[in-house]
Amino acid sequence: MYKNDWAQWHAGLERRRASPHGMLAITGMHWLTATPQRFDDVPGSWSVTADGVGVTLSEGETLTVGDLEISGTHAFGKVDEEGVTAAFGDAIAEIARRGSGIVLRPRHPSSQRLISYEGTPTFPPRERWLVPARFVPFTAPREITLSTVVEGLTDEDEALGRVEFEIDGVPMSLIVFPGAPGAMTTLFTDATSGVTTYPASRRLPIPRPAADNTLTLDFNRATNLPCAYTEFATCSLAPPENRLPVAIEAGEQTPR
């Protein structure tokens, strides 16, 4: 039963990853400036000022924002990390804040990376990697600065506490952050990183703790970050405290 549930979960993850506008569809990462710029993979001339993001479309160029088709000049206003999207043809453009900058990332279903994607290998799911743990909350959440895969770019996240556990009798812990509603998440590296798994970091969902703060870590659900699949990503990386000294031979391996 467990292996079937895990297989269904991973198949769903792969479907989302290979969706027409997923990370594999990104064709560029363009950092906007006050000087209007045109790019080969998206219509318009783009810029950003203190008032927010704007685009000027040439004659015959259009974008669709929500249900509105726009032409000429359009002001998106200020955008946050969640960003906004604009559609053109069968593609979309994502506009979002990253650090102190604004990035424009077109996503095309015709992306060669998407078309050639063959799937992500995994370790066989094993119940050995269902690890009992305890959540130890901080007295108050702590702002932590995380490095990213982009040189010079950092990310601020709110650390909620740590999960403490043992593997083969060795005590370990991971700093955890807000995740899905009611749950948490973490980033980690281990002795497989750069050998059989993606070197930068992997992500692990952390379930909602029980009333006594106990929970079970399922390392079989360790997943790759978007930056494992595209150079056009800005992934945050595991903090130094989350470098595990053991080989976590579970979850996703380096993508093909």
Tokens of 244: 């595990």
DSSP assignment letter at 10: H
Tokens of 115: 């078309």
Distance of alpha carbon 34 from alpha carbon 180, whole angstroms? 35
Predicted pLDDT at 9: 97
Q: Do 192 and 167 form a contact (C-beta atoms < 8 A)? A: no
**Grouped pLDDT means (10 residues each) for the chain, 256 residues:** 95 95 96 97 96 96 95 95 96 95 97 95 97 98 96 94 97 96 95 97 97 98 96 96 97 94
Using alpha carbons, list the distances in angstroms from residue 74 to 34, 50, 68, 81.
Answer: 15, 15, 11, 20
Predicted pLDDT at 184: 97
pTM of the model: 0.92
Assign 117 to helix, strand or coil: coil
Predicted pLDDT at 182: 86
- Residue linked to tokens 């970050």: 225
Strands 42-49 and 154-167 turn out to be unpaired
Distance of alpha carbon 200 from alpha carbon 87, whole angstroms? 32
Predicted pLDDT at 4: 95
Predicted pLDDT at 143: 96
Predicted pLDDT at 1: 87
